[in-house]
Amino acid sequence: ELKVEQNPLFLSMQEGKNYTIYCNYSTTSDRLYWYRQDPGKSLESLFVLLSNGAVKQEGRLMASLDTKARLSTLHITAAVHDLSATYFCAVYNNNDMRFGAGTRLTVKP
Amino acid sequence: NAGVTQTPKFRVLKTGQSMTLLCAQDMNHEYMYWYRQDPGMGLRLIHYSVGEGTTAKGEVPDGYNVSRLKKQNFLLGLESAAPSQTSVYFCASSYSRVSGVSYEQYFGPGTRLTVT
């Protein structure tokens, strides 16, 4: 069974600092997604990673995928308050999509 | 384009009542999905459809039924609502044969359902 583990579940950061969110999954996967969710809102797509070694960057966020280790990371560079949200990874395999529990990120001034 | 829309946005049901949630997409997508999100958790897949007239079970299908009679619509039904079905329901769609391969899943705004 496909399982997805995300850590940390809660993350409080100072503005300007760097940090990484980790996403481990249990079986081979077709692709991996990262989403952002603001309170009471829907999911906003950040990245779709398709192959081993894939790296994508958008602004202060960079995602990478290591399919051999079954690990994806979301790296935050020089955090700003606007990045405060919950971040989810999700793993897609054969029409089945499994989400991690989410990382609730709070960026403090 | 409206993208993915969901109807209704909010609903309160009594235990045992039935209801249908409607998801509509105007992107000519083949695949559609229904998820539920409980507080403090990630989304869990209820049912999905890979084309008009086809549906399949996801991770948590019990207590729900779905239908995809038209390509643009995906309906989620609760025949006899239970308090455990209190949740936020999200619909998503992906993949258009016309515009080519895209792995993005586009999510609707959600339906907040409370069962008392």
A80 vs chain B: nearest CA distance in angstroms? 23
Confidence check: pLDDT of A52 > 90 = no
Q: How many residues does chain A have?
A: 109
Chain B residues with CB-CB distance to A31 below 8 A: 103
B43, B103, B110 member nearest A99 (Cβ): B43
> Over chain B, what is the mean pLDDT?
93
Put simply, the answer to whether A95 touches B48 (Cβ < 8 Å) is yes
Confidence of residue B98 (pLDDT cuts 50, 70, 90): low
pLDDT at B41: 87
pLDDT at A109: 86
B58, B103, B108 member nearest A31 (Cβ): B103
Chain A residues with CB-CB distance to B39 below 8 A: none
A20-42: b (≥16 Cβ within 10 Å) or e: ebebbbeeebebbbbbbbeeeeb
Q: Which helix or strand (DSSP H or E) is residue A103 part of? A: strand A103-108
Task: Point out which residues pair with A31 in neighbouring strands.
Answer: A92
CA B36/CA B57 separation, integer angstroms: 13
pLDDT at B99: 61
* Percent of chain B's residues with pLDDT above 70: 93
Condensed to tens digits (0 to 9), the pLDDT of residues A15-43 reads: 999 999 999 999 988 799 999 999 999 99
- Integer CA distances (angstroms), B26 to A22, B13, B106, in order: 35, 29, 11
| Chain B contact probe: residue of A26, A27, A43 with most B CBs at under 10 A | A43
pLDDT at A51: 84
Q: Are B23 and B4 in contact (CB under 8 A)?
A: yes
